[in-house]
Amino acid sequence: MKNKRMAVKTERLKKSKRYPKYWKYAIDIMEVDGTIHTTPAYGTDLEDALTSVHLIEKRMWLMRFFNKVPQWVAFVVGGILMIGAAILSEYFSSPSWVIGVLGSICLIGGGLYYVNGKIEKHMVNMNE
């Protein structure tokens, strides 16, 4: 037997109320050690639901990391970046450092917002 997790049984339960194209599936997954557990998943078809299960489990480490880090840490790091950019802008007599740091922060924030929306669409609690 391979050292991989396998979906051993699936069942389509109901349509999602929030996203009309999506269906709720109950997927029984057999772990490497032989234990079987049921995982709810949403998708337009079975393949999409299995992909969403994989996506959620791959991204859980990121969610655990952001839940462990206090919000004030992000503000402190952002403040240090802005102070450094302000010092460099003053030293070089050019506002490009501040504009560059602000643009980078906006791009990173927008990217995280976009990724969060994609992950949230596949989360079970959001689709009930």
What are the tens digits of pLDDT across the range 36-71? Answer: 988 888 888 888 888 888 877 777 777 777 778 888
Q: What is the pTM of this model?
A: 0.52
Tell me 127's DSSP state.
Answer: -
Q: How far apart are CA 13 and CA 40, in angstroms?
A: 9
With a pLDDT cut of 90, the percent of the chain lying above it is 6
